[in-house]
Amino acid sequence: MGVSLSVDRPASRQIVCRILEGIAGCVAAQTAFRRLLVSAYETPLVPGAAESTSTIAGFACRGICVAQERELSEFVERGGHVSGELYVPGARVGRSYFFPSGSEAPMSSIRLTSSRSFIKPDGWQAEDILLTPFWNGSKVIGQIAVDDPVDGSRPSTVTLSRLEELAEVAGLALRDALELENLAEAHRVFHLLAESTMTGTLLIEENEAQYVNASACELLGYSKEDLLSLSPWWQVVHPDDRPTFWEENVAGPQLKGTVRAIRRDGRIIWLETSIHPMEHRQGGRAFVLHFFDITEHIEIESQLKEKALRDPLTGLLNRSYFEDAIQTEMERSKRYKRPLTLMMADLKRFKLVNDRLGHQEGDRILSGVSSVLRSQLRDSDWVVRYGGDEFLFVLPETGEGVETLEERLREAVDTWCVENVKGIPVSIDLGWATWTADRPRDVAELVREADQMLYRRKAES
């Protein structure tokens, strides 16, 4: 269904003219044509249908003499009509219409004809007509008409593509702005959101970006040209997040939470995203992606979470972390039938340290012993401050050789304490329990077994 460009209100006429002026300026700056006319229709035209007519909602021009511009203004003011017969299927080239000199072109008061003499036999001719419509679905809501190319050449594929891109932008701007009640305000807000805020915007169709705003370039570290040339566009999404970034369904693509992106400089950032499916071009599937950088928020959240799961004195994981994560580690051992050992430890004669040397000295010793314990284990092992001077080690894929580890830990702690604790022979006691596929137990049973062994060792020493 076509969008009618009603301009009964001054605000409506102003927004139409502002959009057309912007497109006219872009065509003049980005193509080789020295004369051009950009116009919008009150109601959509059906291409090729003589009975489909409309008045002109507004126009903008460049390079046209005063007399021609006055003639166009008078045509619009008296409600002159244009017809869909202007867009003859046989003249269509891509998404434009080209009527070479000598061909039978429908008459129209909104096209350009040149008074210049061209000398290239196979180049642009004075009566050549090139029209690039603004499409809304299968209907036309406006057009770009150009004439007088600087180099005298007929339009190339590159030229047509650029004109069609600009016409597409014009069509989008007209449809989006004029569907809203307060058009002038809508244009201001659209411009603010698209170009002036910290929110990145990509218009995606067929896995390629058709439009990017300045904020998208700044957030992702790419130039506008680089982003528009990326194919597929989702190369900016972190490889690990691509499979779950969105899913397709009958309503179009749906995002699934936050996503990591890779900037051009290789830095990974976190983006909060939203997606809006839309119909683009003639029946094409497309969507607008909005995103903003939440990396700092994620990092702060991660730091707070890390802080909440670590003991502030020793820097080791705390009991809360152990209780939350041990089931996952246990499930992994069950899945792969690999052993898992829980080892518990406490410091012998540590109470004497607090009683004789004070709690500040006790904290120093706890922190130092914690560093020693951590240094003796693998990166895959956990060290948990279980409470007071008690420690718990989670040792994945560890069954045999626990005695060797026990001896290494004992010697390392004894050596550190001899050098750093004066007057009190602090040492460490340890006990453990191992889960294996042929002797399964739950976590509570493993902790209880390790604790019982620890206290047997303490009683024996």
The answer to whether residue 286 scores a pLDDT higher than 90 is no
Dihedral sign from CA coordinates of 245, 249, 253, 258: negative
The whole-number pLDDT of residue 162 equals: 83
Closest by Cα among 82, 89, 8 to 45: 82
The whole-number pLDDT of residue 117 equals: 64
Q: What pLDDT digit, counting tens, does each position of 386-429 carry?
A: 988 999 999 999 888 889 999 999 999 999 999 998 889 999 99
Do 150 and 235 belong to one domain? no
33 part of a folded domain: yes
> CA 207, CA 245: separation in Å to the nearest integer?
14
Closest by Cα among 262, 266, 260 to 298: 260
187 part of a folded domain: no
71 part of a folded domain: yes
> CA 104, CA 98: separation in Å to the nearest integer?
11
426 part of a folded domain: yes
> CA 100, CA 119: separation in Å to the nearest integer?
15
Q: Which of 244, 262, 297 is the last residue of a domain?
A: 297
391 part of a folded domain: yes
Do 431 and 406 belong to one domain? yes
Q: Which of 238, 267, 297 is the last residue of a domain?
A: 297
User: ∠243-247-248 over CA atoms, to 5°?
Assistant: 135
4 part of a folded domain: no
Do 138 and 208 belong to one domain? no
CATH number of the domain at 365, please: 3.30.70.270
> CA 261, CA 270: separation in Å to the nearest integer?
6
Do 359 and 405 belong to one domain? yes
The secondary structure of residue 375, as a DSSP letter, is H
Burial readout 99-117 (b: 16 or more C-beta within 10 A, e: otherwise): beeeeebbeeebbbebeee
3 part of a folded domain: no
How many domains are contained in the chain? 3
CATH number of the domain at 140, please: 3.30.450.40
Do 164 and 205 belong to one domain? no
Do 318 and 383 belong to one domain? yes
Tell me the residue ranges of DSSP E strands in 316-426. Answer: 317-318, 340-348, 382-387, 390-396
Q: Who contacts 422 (Cβ-Cβ below 8 Å, separation ≥6)?
A: none
370 part of a folded domain: yes
37 in Cβ contact with 59 (< 8 Å) = yes
Do 175 and 204 belong to one domain? no
Is 0.95 surpassed by the pTM of this model? Answer: no
Do 177 and 203 belong to one domain? no
| HSE value, Cβ hemisphere, 13 Å, CA-based, for 48 | 6
Q: Which of 297, 328, 346 is the last residue of a domain?
A: 297
404 in Cβ contact with 428 (< 8 Å) = no
Domain that holds residue 131: 10-181
> CA 399, CA 258: separation in Å to the nearest integer?
40
> CA 306, CA 311: separation in Å to the nearest integer?
10
The whole-number pLDDT of residue 346 equals: 93
What residue spans of 179-262 are helical by DSSP H?
183-191, 214-220, 224-229, 242-245
> CA 157, CA 172: separation in Å to the nearest integer?
22
Percent of the chain with pLDDT over 70: 83
Do 70 and 122 belong to one domain? yes
Do 151 and 284 belong to one domain? no
CATH number of the domain at 291, please: 3.30.450.20
Structural tokens at position 398: 């560890």
Neighbours of 279 (CB within 10 A): 12
Q: What pLDDT digit, counting tens, does each position of 27-54 carry?
A: 887 788 888 999 999 889 999 888 999 9
The answer to whether residue 186 scores a pLDDT higher than 50 is no
Do 152 and 43 belong to one domain? yes
Q: What pLDDT digit, counting tens, does each position of 200-247 carry?
A: 888 888 788 888 888 889 999 999 999 999 888 888 989 888 876 655
Do 46 and 157 belong to one domain? yes
| 189 — pLDDT class (breaks 50, 70, 90) | very low
Q: Which residue, chain included where needed, has tokens 């909440």? A: 308
The whole-number pLDDT of residue 246 equals: 59
